[in-house]
């Protein structure tokens, strides 16, 4: 089955997002495979050192944008401990689920179209970092399309009709050092100020609205007997609506120090806008009808907290359907896996969906 061999080709080329050399090498492998399957070489788009690939079919405007990424969260050397393998109908390997299977599915689905004119396939190389270099490219390609189809992995088989928006922050605290034993009163303790700010930030969530505001990584101090002069912590924000995302942003920017002479410096802000359900509902109904016509089990839908490049396409007003890729689980974890028997029927569904949207 070419699908499985092609997935192995991509999985066995490691591509951690932060390693631009590895991502470039992966892009070459993806480009070669895509050229073989699609009969057309991609355009390389290198932005800030990250390598993205774009296939455009036909001379007219974009109609359907198919989106994937070839970077993964797995560091170089992961294949030694998590080798590619297929056993009892389950495929494993770093990035197999998120989302190299989806990239191969896109190749085969587009290759099966009688005429792919109007389709653009975009495979980016920095999605796992929040798409810092590819966001503008994704939004530009999605603009004016009738649909964006995102080949991210499914959620236990369910398509993703709603994703929370993401904001990322770093709050830096500037204090003043002093000897912790001799003159602690002369210092401004950045650790203590950080504790105050962490508690304040932790109260900014709104469970009723589905908004989470989570302080995460904390760094403070140098040695045991010195009052810390500096501290910092990271904050992960997820929100279902733009209004909630902006409310939290305003609250973060309004934080004030508690200790006299302590200073705060906020870095960051909204990264991905919310992917609201209304942007996916019509496409989901369309896909559900096609699945029934193909004799496949009824599709299922889900809302998730994780973000993807679908947040960008939906955020500019392009109807978007996400989670069309692999069925399996364990994204970013030791148990990452793909259910082999689901790959081919999901690829056929994707072909039908693209064909009708064209």
**CATH number for the domain including 231?**
3.30.70.360
Same domain, 219 and 285: no
Give me the sheet containing 337-339, strands edge to edge: 85-87, 90-92, 337-339, 328-329
Residues of the chain below pLDDT 70: 1
Global pTM value = 0.89
Same domain, 328 and 199: no
Question: Phi and psi dihedrals of 177, rounded to 5?
Answer: -80, 150
CA neighbours closer than 13 Å in the CB half-sphere of residue 208: 0
Q: Which of 272, 288, 318 is the last residue of a domain?
A: 272
Same domain, 206 and 322: no
Same domain, 263 and 353: no
Q: 44-61 pLDDT, tens per residue? A: 999 999 999 999 999 988
Q: What share of the chain has pLDDT > 70, as a percent?
A: 100
Same domain, 68 and 149: yes
Same domain, 254 and 128: no
* Per-residue confidence (pLDDT) for residue 306, from 0 to 100: 86
* Per-residue confidence (pLDDT) for residue 305, from 0 to 100: 86
In the chain, the number of structural domains is 2
CA gap 61, 174 in Å, rounded? 52
Q: Could you tell me if 239 and 274 are in contact, meaning their C-beta atoms sit under 8 angstroms apart?
A: yes
* Per-residue confidence (pLDDT) for residue 324, from 0 to 100: 97
CA gap 113, 107 in Å, rounded? 10
Same domain, 179 and 92: no
Domain extent at residue 345: 2-164+275-357
Q: 140-196 pLDDT, tens per residue? A: 999 999 999 999 999 999 999 999 999 999 999 999 999 999 999 999 999 999 999
Same domain, 263 and 284: no
Same domain, 99 and 184: no
Q: Which of 175, 176, 216 is nearest to 198 (CA)?
A: 216
* CATH code (residue 129): 3.40.630.10
Same domain, 35 and 51: yes
Same domain, 46 and 170: no
Q: Which of 212, 247, 272 is the last residue of a domain?
A: 272
Q: Which of 221, 251, 272 is the last residue of a domain?
A: 272
Same domain, 99 and 127: yes
Give me the sheet containing 320-321, strands edge to edge: 43-47, 50-56, 119-124, 64-69, 147-150, 320-321
């Amino acid at each position: 089955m070419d699908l499985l061999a092609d997935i192995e080709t991509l999985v066995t080329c490691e591509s951690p997002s932060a390693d631009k050399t590895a991502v470039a090498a992966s892009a070459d492998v993806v480009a070669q495979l895509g050229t073989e399957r699609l009969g057309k070489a991609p355009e390389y788009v290198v932005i800030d050192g990250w390598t993205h690939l774009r296939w455009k079919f036909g001379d007219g405007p974009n109609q359907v944008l198919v989106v994937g990424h070839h970077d993964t969260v797995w560091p170089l050397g992961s294949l030694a401990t998590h080798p590619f393998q297929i056993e009892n109908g389950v495929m494993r390997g770093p990035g197999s689920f998120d989302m190299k299977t989806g990239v191969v599915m896109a190749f085969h689905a587009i290759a099966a179209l009688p005429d792919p004119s109007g389709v653009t396939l975009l495979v980016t190389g920095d999605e796992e970092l929040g798409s810092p270099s590819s966001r503008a490219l994704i939004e530009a390609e999605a603009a004016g399309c009738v649909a964006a189809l995102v080949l991210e992995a499914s959620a236990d088989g369910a398509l993703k009709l709603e994703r929370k928006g993401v904001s990322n922050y770093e709050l830096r605290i500037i204090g003043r050092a002093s000897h912790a034993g001799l003159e602690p009163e002369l210092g401004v303790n950045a650790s203590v100020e950080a504790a105050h700010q962490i508690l304040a930030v932790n109260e900014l969530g709104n469970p009723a609205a589905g908004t989470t505001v989570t302080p995460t990584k904390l760094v403070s101090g140098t040695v045991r007997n010195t009052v810390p002069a500096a501290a910092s912590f990271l904050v992960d924000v997820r929100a279902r609506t733009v209004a909630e995302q902006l409310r939290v942003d305003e609250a973060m920017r309004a934080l004030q120090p508690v200790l006299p002479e302590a200073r705060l410096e906020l870095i960051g802000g909204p990264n991905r806008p919310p992917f609201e359900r209304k942007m996916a509902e019509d496409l989901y109904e369309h896909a559900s009808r096609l699945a029934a016509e193909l004799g496949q089990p009824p599709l299922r839908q889900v809302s998730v907290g994780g973000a993807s490049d679908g947040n960008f396409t939906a955020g500019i007003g392009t109807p978007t359907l996400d989670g069309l890729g692999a069925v399996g689980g364990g994204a970013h974890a030791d148990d990452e896996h793909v259910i082999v028997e689901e790959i081919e029927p999901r690829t056929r569904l994707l072909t039908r969906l693209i064909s009708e949207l064209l």
